[in-house]
Amino acid sequence: MKKVLQITLGIVTSVGGFLEIGSVTTAAQAGASFGYKLLWAILLGTICLIFLVEMSGRLAAVSKHTVVEAMRGRFGFPFFFVVLIGIVLVAFLVLVAELGGIGLSLQILTGIGFPWWAVPVSFAVWILMWKGTFSLIENGASMLGLVTISFVVAAVKLHPDWGGAAHGLVPSFPADQKAKYWFVAVSILGASISPYLMYFYSSGAIEDEWDETYVPINRVIATFGMSLGGFLSMAVLIVAALVFHPKGIDIQKFEQASLLLTPALPKWGFFLFATSMLFACLGAALEISLAIAYFFAQGFGWNWSEDLTPSRDARFCFTYTIIIMLAAVPLLFGVDPIKVTIISMALTSATLPLAIVPFLFLMNDPIYLGEHRNGWVSNTVVAIIVLISFVLAVISIPLEIMGG
Amino acid sequence: MRLKGFLVISVLGIAACKSPTPAEQMDSIQSWLATAEMVGDGWLRHSTPDKYSRQTLELSHETLLQISSDLLKAPPHSVDSASLDSVLTRSRGEVAQMARLIEAKDAPEFGRRLDSLRADQKVVKQLSDSIESRQ
């Protein structure tokens, strides 16, 4: 009974924590500009994420090491340091975007510009980290994020052409706007396959004291939680395809995306969108801040746990304190969080090989995983993800320039 | 080192060459007019709050001003620049006026301005189609 509850909670938190400013923005842009045509990118990203999350949970449950600890131990400090720079820089940009997403949500609710919210929002995130436990951050924020289910309600209420949507699950080549099409596709993949999720998930498994008995539970949570989360992203794309695409609205600003739910839910749609984004970005900001602090602490061998008091893991707490403070600075100066989101999603794609190639070696290492090493199915999928990640790394920056 | 230099120059070259075409600018104008129309419709139906609606209409107005001034610096040959200028100026004026009417809470006049904006949207769409067909 306890395990059933754990599975349910795990799935619910995965669903509630799936959407964030990157996934909503990229899905809304895709639907607005290309109708259902880019649904395949969300499907592909979700499949990749299911495998990566399952593997990072399995590694932690079996070896009692997080991905970062195993990478540092297996490949040494110089290699870890290169990965640290690449991943942390991109994760930092994503954190700026998420804090900005909270600010923008508050801006449309109150009329007070997002730069004014930079300090209060950063302080609120920091105080939740300082005072809160891992369970509060993992479950509390994700439960609030369940309000994002309103995107599914809106999609159903708008009566989409389900046949057309199913057609969008198959990759197609656009007749025009090719650079923009591929850039949005790359951004969707960058928003879906976020390396910080792997680090957060494996650290969470250690925080929750998983052991080998959790391997099947981990598989169920990763598969169902991420699949249902992927459905949420698809719902955003479908609603944008029905609401914005026929009107020719190209999403460039948050204010435009804020109209997403109003045609389907005229009375509550605007407030549901604002609160969905508020909670989704809050959950993501907490997870990314933690993931960055985990990365430093685990790589440098410091004490770390969100459940310890700050006096017992001072360097871990100092890291997220500094990171959150720094992330508030660009927002104070009015840097547009949507632009940061778009750039960070493309850069996430560009840095994927740094995160995934060493992970493939780790998942085949008998010292860490013994009999739970990857089978041929998982290895084939990771090899495909590595291939995709190399292609994305090469094309993402030129596409960013050409796709506008 | 040579390869690095070549890559840097290529990327900068692509970036420098990439300025929006008149068709892309017209798409952008249509997008912001449609945004203003959607916000206006939402405000009339009490689906969007006053502050958000006013600020978004002001943002639409500023963005339309920026794009249309860029477009009119080098207007496309395929359309009459005087009629393009006229419809863009008129529609911008409607958007700015709608933002003011929210403060005055004048829904009937707001509705009339919204209808005019919808008519202008159709004209902009025709001009945009003629630019795209000549490209």
Greatest alpha-carbon span in chain A: 59
Residue A177 contacts B, CB cutoff 8 Å: no
Residue A398 contacts B, CB cutoff 8 Å: yes
- CB contact (8 A) between residue B31 and residue A252: yes
pLDDT per position as a tens digit, B119-134: 999 999 988 888 777 6
Within a 10 A sphere around the Cβ of A153, how many other Cβ atoms? Answer: 17
pLDDT per position as a tens digit, B36-72: 999 999 999 999 999 999 999 999 999 999 998 888 8
Q: Which of A250, A255, A267 sits opposite B28 (nearest CB)?
A: A250
The pLDDT score that the predictor gives to residue A375 is 92
Task: State which residues of chain A have pLDDT below 50.
Answer: none
The pLDDT score that the predictor gives to residue A404 is 53
Residues of B in CB contact (< 8 Å) with A are 11, 14-15, 18, 20, 24, 27-28, 30-31, 34-35, 37-39, 42, 45, 47-49, 51-52, 55-56, 59
pLDDT per position as a tens digit, A349-369: 888 888 889 999 999 999 999
Within a 10 A sphere around the Cβ of A207, how many other Cβ atoms? Answer: 22
Residue A295's nearest CA partner among A276, A320, A314 is A320
Share of chain A above pLDDT 90, in %: 70
* Per-residue pLDDT at B20 exceeds 60: yes
Query: What is the pTM for the complete model shown?
Result: 0.92
Mean pLDDT estimate for chain B: 85
Residue with tokens 């290529």: B10
The pLDDT score that the predictor gives to residue B130 is 82
CA distance A271 to B125: 32
Alpha helices in B18-106 (DSSP H): 22-44, 50-73, 81-104
B-chain CB neighbours of A258 within 8 Å are: 52, 56
The pLDDT score that the predictor gives to residue A1 is 66
Q: Which of A108, A248, A404 sits opposite B31 (nearest CB)?
A: A248
Residue A126's nearest CA partner among A110, A102, A105 is A102
Q: Which of A109, A110, A248 sits opposite B34 (nearest CB)?
A: A248
Confidence class for position B17, pLDDT limits 50, 70, 90: very low
